[in-house]
């Protein structure tokens, strides 16, 4: 009944006529809009990570996230690219760790809601995704031995590790890989907590669902018009679906995938990497004995069209994570909007999907779409991220041994 009230209200109009031309949403658009919530989502624990959601593991993960010693040179931490004060990214087109990398650093807001991790989905869990930059020769350049040695040698880290896992990092080098995996699981437990707050869009969406016309009308008219394009003729919500504005899958959006010295195969190589990854959910380190979380890995299908496909990013806080696309090709949200406005279908795979067509937006319509995207910003996000800088509390001093 409530839904029908909402639909009836939406079909009428949600903006006062005096403020400009009222925006009307049809039934299909309303259904799609309602699917973008409620927000925030209830935090889900990762069954493949036994310390997911555990406070002691979150504390350890937070310490590790900002720990430069995890890289052998002592200069690169996770926060080096995923800077808290930059919305968990680095504002660069392409990332720079120890060396240069071909892809843009994705923001970590709400990353725990993903199905696949990384632009190519080469990881099937957040904890295995955390291992990748630690070991990558151009990101942090460490190995399991270095990580385990660091955890054993640092009293603070060792103390936090013991609190998270019930025993200190195993002394034997034969257990180095186990210590690496546990560290990554603690990192994942921390990163799962990076959930963005409510936005002006969420208030509008909830008002729409409740049938509260006055509350809905507080949503800026230009954002409403942009939402109309997003959910309507833009078909953006087909891929940017659901509460996190991402269907979590992979698409060719006509962005060139040539990189210095070759091509970036995107999802195609991601599936190969996933299958070869000893830390994937089919391997011995998953804590999900039911095997349920590994369903996606067991059934993932490699297809020719995966070449040049990259993951649909979430749009929550998108305003704060410029530059955009997998290779940081676009500096502004308007650049992104204009790309989809003028997209050339002949640049998409011939065996790819027939979903993207040039929108031919007017300048005003492009502004409206950008206004809508900006309405997905949590106004408290930057403050919340800044509060999560390195933790200065002590563990070792407070633990009697």
Partner 1 sequence: MRRLLLVLAAGAPLAVQACEPPAGFALRADSARYAVFFRADPPAIGVGNYFSVEAVACAKTGGAAPDGLKVDAQMPAHRHGMNSRATVERAAPGRFLARGLMFHMPGVWQFVFDVQRAGDTERATRDLEIK
Residues near partner 1 (CB under 8 A): 31-32, 35, 115, 237-239, 241-242, 247-250, 295-296, 298-301, 303, 305, 352-355
Q: Which is nearer to partner 1, 87 or 312 (CB)?
A: 312
For the bound state, the minimum distance from the C-beta of residue 345 to partner 1, rounded and expressed in Å, comes to 12
Residue 311 pairs in a beta bridge with 250
Between CA 366 and CA 344 the distance in angstroms is 17
For the bound state, the minimum distance from the C-beta of residue 45 to partner 1, rounded and expressed in Å, comes to 17
Q: Which is nearer to partner 1, 64 or 227 (CB)?
A: 227
Which residue in 313, 386, 301, 308 sits closest to 347, CA to CA? 308
Which residue in 219, 201, 187, 207 sits closest to 316, CA to CA? 201
Q: What is the Cα Rg of the chain in Å?
A: 22
For the bound state, the minimum distance from the C-beta of residue 249 to partner 1, rounded and expressed in Å, comes to 4
Q: Which is nearer to partner 1, 284 or 304 (CB)?
A: 304
For the bound state, the minimum distance from the C-beta of residue 358 to partner 1, rounded and expressed in Å, comes to 17
Between CA 328 and CA 101 the distance in angstroms is 11
At residue 58's C-alpha, the angle toward residues 52 and 64, to 5°, is 120
Q: Are 300 and 127 in contact (CB under 8 A)?
A: no
Residues 6+ apart with CB under 8 A from 260: 102
Residues 6+ apart with CB under 8 A from 37: 202, 205, 206, 209, 243
Q: Which is nearer to partner 1, 178 or 296 (CB)?
A: 296
Q: Which is nearer to partner 1, 323 or 352 (CB)?
A: 352
For the bound state, the minimum distance from the C-beta of residue 35 to partner 1, rounded and expressed in Å, comes to 8
Q: Which is nearer to partner 1, 259 or 355 (CB)?
A: 355
For the bound state, the minimum distance from the C-beta of residue 343 to partner 1, rounded and expressed in Å, comes to 15
Residue 250 pairs in a beta bridge with 311
Between CA 126 and CA 286 the distance in angstroms is 11
């Amino acid at each position: 009944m409530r839904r029908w009230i909402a639909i009836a209200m939406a079909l009428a109009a949600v903006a006062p006529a005096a403020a400009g031309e009222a925006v009307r949403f049809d039934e299909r658009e309303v259904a799609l809009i309602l699917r973008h919530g409620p927000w925030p989502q209830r935090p889900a624990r990762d069954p493949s990570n036994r310390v997911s959601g555990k406070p002691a593991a979150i504390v350890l993960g937070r310490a590790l996230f900002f720990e430069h010693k995890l890289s052998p040179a002592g200069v690169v931490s996770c926060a080096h690219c995923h800077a808290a004060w930059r919305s968990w990214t680095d504002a660069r087109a392409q990332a720079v760790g120890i060396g240069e990398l071909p892809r843009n650093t994705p923001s970590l807001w709400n990353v725990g809601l993903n199905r696949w991790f990384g632009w190519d989905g080469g990881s099937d869990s957040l904890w295995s995704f955390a291992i990748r930059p630690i070991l990558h020769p151009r990101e942090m350049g460490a190995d399991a031995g270095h990580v385990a040695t660091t955890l054993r040698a640092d009293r603070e880290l060792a103390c936090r590790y013991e609190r998270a896992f019930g025993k200190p990092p195993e002394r034997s080098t034969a257990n180095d890989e186990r210590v690496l995996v546990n560290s990554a699981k603690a990192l994942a437990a921390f990163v799962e907590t990076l959930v963005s707050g409510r936005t002006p869009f969420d208030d509008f969406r909830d008002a729409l669902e409740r049938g509260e016309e006055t509350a809905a009308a507080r949503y800026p008219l230009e954002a409403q018009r942009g939402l109309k394009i997003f959910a309507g003729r833009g078909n953006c919500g087909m891929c940017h679906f659901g509460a996190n504005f991402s269907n979590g899958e992979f698409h060719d959006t006509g962005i060139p995938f040539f990189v210095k010295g070759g091509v970036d195969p995107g999802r195609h190589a991601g599936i190969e990497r996933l299958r070869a990854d000893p830390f994937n959910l089919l391997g011995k380190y998953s804590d999900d004995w039911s095997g349920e979380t590994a369903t996606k890995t067991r059934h993932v299908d490699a297809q020719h069209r995966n070449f040049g496909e990259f993951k649909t990013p979430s749009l929550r806080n998108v305003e704060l994570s410029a530059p955009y696309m997998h290779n940081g090709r676009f500096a502004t949200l308007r650049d992104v909007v204009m790309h989809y406005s003028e997209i050339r279908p002949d640049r998409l795979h011939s065996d790819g999907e027939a979903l993207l067509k040039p929108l031919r937006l007017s300048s005003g319509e492009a502004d409206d779409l950008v206004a809508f995207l900006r309405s997905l910003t949590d106004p408290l996000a930057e403050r919340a991220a800044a509060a999560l800088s390195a933790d200065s509390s002590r563990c070792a001093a407070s633990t009697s041994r």
